[in-house]
A and B are shown apart, each in its own frame.
Chain A
């Protein structure tokens, strides 16, 4: 005759679970992998003669950060908070100002003709610039481009860039390219590290 099986005491289950929990708390980290993603330009071939690509002056916005984290954009000194508007004005050029970058008609697959801005933002820094200031500036530039992309997406698709599907995001990316050039390092008279 089968005896009724005695119930197993589950009182120590909590202890075991706590043990596992504490183990995982110790050996794992919780940092999020996030940041500003960039593509570096490939190294120019040494054998090849360096033919400087002539870019029209009006198509470049030089953003310079010096040793003391002072910011110069387009020749004038400004605060980081002003940079976004400056970059937006430069890239969007709504009034077709002759001092702002020209636009080039390009055929975008799936969208048609669009006058894409030829503007390039050239970011230059010295060895003494602090990383914090550099990232702050990069962030402002990305923010400017993201806002232009959002405007473009709103105008054409009625939605923000992030809410679009893959294909339309590509169209927006083609129409508003992220042309930030991180210039070759220049040693402008500083040996501070």
Chain B
């Protein structure tokens, strides 16, 4: 029995943390690759509707974004709770879309301009009236490639 009896207390060796930086770097690189820089501050709350047949936007750099939704709570005292359009960093009206599209076109290279896609990020609770207005204005400015932003719904079950 003497074989198994321990003489004195044996302290647990300290856990080596040498691989901790490696693990953290791994997570860091994952986030650097899979995310993109935030470009605008969201002034409207947008929860895009679900769809199953969605296609990914191939050229993210050629997209212009139009956000439609109710203003965020801190802006509601000023702008109300009705659905509003956000272009870049401020609330705009349908009439401003023309200038917005023109400005967006300027930022793209000459050869890519025709492939510019306008991504409409509208909240699922907005009414079609405002979306139709936007669509008509886009047609008028001949920005015809559009995308209704949607998130992937589960195809299996519910």
Contact = CB atoms under 8 A, between A and B. Distances in A.
B38 A29 contact: yes
B45 interface: no
Contact of B24 (A18, A27, A193): A18
Interface stretch (A34-42, A56-64, A107-115): A34-42
A36 B50 CA distance: 10
Contacts of B28: 17, 20-21, 24
Contacts of A126: 128
Main secondary structure of the interface of A (DSSP, over half): mixed
Contact of A14 (B20, B31, B132): B20
B142 A127 contact: no
A169 interface: no
A135 B24 contact: no
Interface stretch (A74-82, A90-98, A138-146): A138-146
B36 A35 contact: no
Contacts, number: 160
A121 B56 CA distance: 24
Interface in B56-88: 56-57, 60, 63, 82-83
Contacts of B92: none
Interface residues of A, number: 48
Contact of B138 (A25, A32, A40): A40
B60 to A, nearest CB: 5
Contacts of B144: 39-42
A21 B145 contact: no
B132 A185 contact: yes
Interface string B143-155: 0111111111000
B124 to A, nearest CB: 4
Contacts of B20: 14
A178 B27 CA distance: 42
Given A14-B24, A41-B139, A132-B125, A33 B52 contact: no
Given A14-B17, A135-B51, A42 B145 contact: no
A134 to B, nearest CB: 6
Interface in B8-55: 17-18, 20-21, 24-25, 27-28, 31-32, 34-38, 48-55
A8 interface: no
A186 to B, nearest CB: 10
A57 to B, nearest CB: 25
B82 A193 contact: yes
Given A20-B28, A125-B132, 6 more contacts: A13-B21, A14-B21, A24-B31, A36-B148, A36-B150, A127-B128
6 contacts: A21-B28, A36-B147, A37-B117, A135-B148, A136-B49, A193-B82
